[in-house]
Amino acid sequence: MMPEIASDWACFIDPPRELEEDLIKISRALPAWSVEGTFLADSTMEWYRSLLEATPLFDEFRSSLLRKLGGTAGGYSVVRLRNIAQALGVGEQFLRLATAILAEVAIPFQPFQRWPLWKEIGTSLTANPGMSTGTGYNAFHMDLVNATQPPDYTTLLCVRPDPLGAGASILSDARAAVSRLTPSSRTLLADLAYSYGSFFDLSDVGEEYRPFPVLDGEPAGLGFVRFTAKMLAESGLDEAHAQAAMDLADQMVAGQVSFTLQRGDFLIVNQHRWVHGREPLGDCQHDIPPEERRLLLQLFLRSSGTTRPITP
């Protein structure tokens, strides 16, 4: 068993055995999903919901999950479906079940036009080590930071953990980190001064936001702490704004939690509150066959009515 480290186990959900057994049964009745544009179709979500609601313990499970993701003290959760993954594998049936559960949080969608609803995040020895598919430290960030309407939630499902026992997920409460900054740093972070990444082949995330403020002044349910550590390398960032962003990065690291996802676990992150990243994978990845290296699947969620267009 790989090590797991976390400071708040209250954010983890282990379904009771009776619910696991019921979910395994209904997974065999879940139809293939359909999409409308980039979003999971309403008809699919209604069908999935009707099957889940027929499960006696699901309502309590759903309420617990929503509590952990919302509110001033919430922001992320890890749903541990390890026993279900052992029974079903992590193929089509399991993905339908995971999609059905996530559709009770918000609407699943895939903004990247070139990828399916569940996007693979594998391990590449040739990728930049700091990227999601790399093998090194992936610093704190929110996904699609440079879109005017980023996904409200990002989800990572573990198909295979790193066989070498490394690659722990890291998370930090971005709004708590901001609260520990000086007023002068917060003022600088509210400026339209930051840039990162490209913007193409995307749908339903608004327009490119460049430059953007880290702090947009919106309430937590609508706005974001638009942060990615990679923006510090963008040319043109002056010393004062770079220092303010580095101060925020330091506070995020100081408040981080970490844990190692196992096969069948999925992590849901409320992007309005938390940022995420990854510790380095184990050394000697070249000794591991490609088909045995760490593999995650990513899916994004959009909350109905929680975002509004931003004019860059």
Q: How confident is the model at residue 233 (pLDDT cuts 50, 70, 90)?
A: confident
pLDDT, tens digit (0-9, with 9 covering 90-100), for 65-83: 999 998 666 899 999 999 9
Predicted pLDDT of residue 8? 55
Does residue 4 have a pLDDT over 50? no
> DSSP states of 18-36 as a string?
HHHHHHHHHHTTPPPP-EE
Tell me which residue of 239, 265, 302, 285 sits closest to 2, measured CA to CA.
Answer: 265
In the block, tokens 């600088």 appear at 188
249 in Cβ contact with 139 (< 8 Å): yes
CB neighbour list of residue 121: distance below 8 Å, 6 or more residues apart: 132, 133, 156, 295, 296, 297, 298
Q: Starting from the edge strand earliest in sequence, which strands make up the sheet with 169-173, in order?
A: 138-141, 274-278, 169-173, 257-259
Weakest mean pLDDT among 20-34, 223-237, 250-264, 285-299: 223-237
Amino acid at position 190, single letter: A
The phi, psi pair for 21, rounded to 5°, reads -65, -40
Where do we find the tokens 């699919």?
44
- Which pLDDT tens digit goes with each residue over 36-61? 999 999 999 999 999 999 999 999 99
Q: What is the pTM of this model?
A: 0.94
- pLDDT band at residue 6 under the 50/70/90 scheme: very low
Tokens of 51: 């099957």
Q: What is the pLDDT of residue 197?
A: 87
Are 271 and 172 in contact by the 8 Å Cβ rule? The answer is no
Place 306 in a pLDDT band, splitting at 50, 70 and 90: low
Question: Could you count the other beta carbons within 10 Å of the beta carbon of residue 63?
Answer: 11
Model confidence band, residue 304 (pLDDT cutoffs 50, 70, 90): confident
Q: For residue 116, how many other CB atoms are within 10 A of its CB? A: 11
Nearest Cα residue to 290 out of 160, 129, 168: 160
pLDDT confidence of 310, banded at 50, 70, 90? low
Answer whether 125's CB lies under 8 Å from 134's CB: no
- Per-residue confidence band for 220, with pLDDT thresholds at 50, 70 and 90: confident
pLDDT value of residue 5: 41
Structure confidence by residue, pLDDT tens digits, 254-290:
999 999 999 999 999 999 999 999 999 999 999 999 9
Q: What is the pLDDT of residue 113?
A: 86
CA 137, CA 254: separation in Å to the nearest integer? 16
Q: What is the mean pLDDT of the chain?
A: 93
**Using CB atoms within 10 A of its CB, is residue 239 exposed (0-12), middle (13-18) or buried (19+)?**
exposed
Phi and psi torsions of 193, nearest 5°: -130, -5
Q: Is pLDDT above 70 for 307?
A: no
Identify any residues that bridge with 154 across adjacent strands, giving them in sequence order. 269, 300
Angle, vertex CA 259, rays to CA 106 and CA 152, nearest 5: 20
* Helix axes of 58-69 and 42-53: crossing angle, nearest 10 degrees: 120
CATH number for the domain formed by residue range(s) 75-88+110-302: 3.60.130.10
Q: Is 232 exposed, middle or buried (CB count within 10 Å of its CB: 0-12, 13-18, 19+)?
A: middle
Q: What is the pLDDT of residue 1?
A: 38
Domain boundaries, the chain: 75-88+110-302
In 32-75, DSSP assigns E strands to 35-36, 39-40
CB 296 within 8 A of CB 156: yes
Lowest mean pLDDT among 15-29, 95-109, 181-195, 292-306: 292-306
